[in-house]
Amino acid sequence: MSTERTTPAGSFSYELTRTLDAPAKKVWRAWTTPEQYARWAYAAAGSVEMDVRPGGAWKATTVTPDGGRFPLTGSYLEVVENRLLVIGMDVPGKPAPAVMTLELDEEGDHRTRVVLRQTCDTAEDRDMAEQGSTLLLDGLSAFLADGARD
């Protein structure tokens, strides 16, 4: 399973595409259920809260491999169950949230194409966000491959 990377030259945007061996409903639940999300998204136990609806808030504390903890907050801007999540991520010192778009496209009964997009303010922000998103997709892929419960 590989990730297709599309980063336009001179752009502060990126797009990652990956096909997962799981139906869209299962991918959706992994991304929108606090207990499941915490298991694959490097979140501290008990730190994930999700109100998955337009305007609903979310929060999680990410734990880095060296033990660092980073609290994250935001809100859902657009929600289409099993198809689309547009997620606003609060950025300290900035009036507007960073926006990440997650699209799910079911391919047959048991495969889902995931497209993750984000536009950032700088090349450095884009590179960091893209690295984090790649780690998220890696964690999600492993979680689903290990037989995530329905």
> Model-level pTM?
0.87
CATH class assigned to 3-145: alpha beta
55: helix, strand or coil: coil
Which pLDDT band holds residue 65 (cuts at 50, 70, 90)?
confident
The predicted model gives 35-44 an average pLDDT of 93
Instruction: Classify each residue of 93-131 as buried b or exposed e, where b means 16 or more C-beta atoms within 10 Å of its C-beta.
Output: eeeeebbbbbbbebeeeeebbbbbbbbbeeeeebeebbe
Average of pLDDT values for 124-138?
92
Confidence band of 8 (pLDDT split at 50, 70, 90): low
CA 19, CA 4: separation in Å to the nearest integer? 9
The mean pLDDT value for 71-98 works out to 94
| Predicted confidence (pLDDT) at residue 3 exceeds the cutoff of 60 | no
- pLDDT, the chain, mean: 90
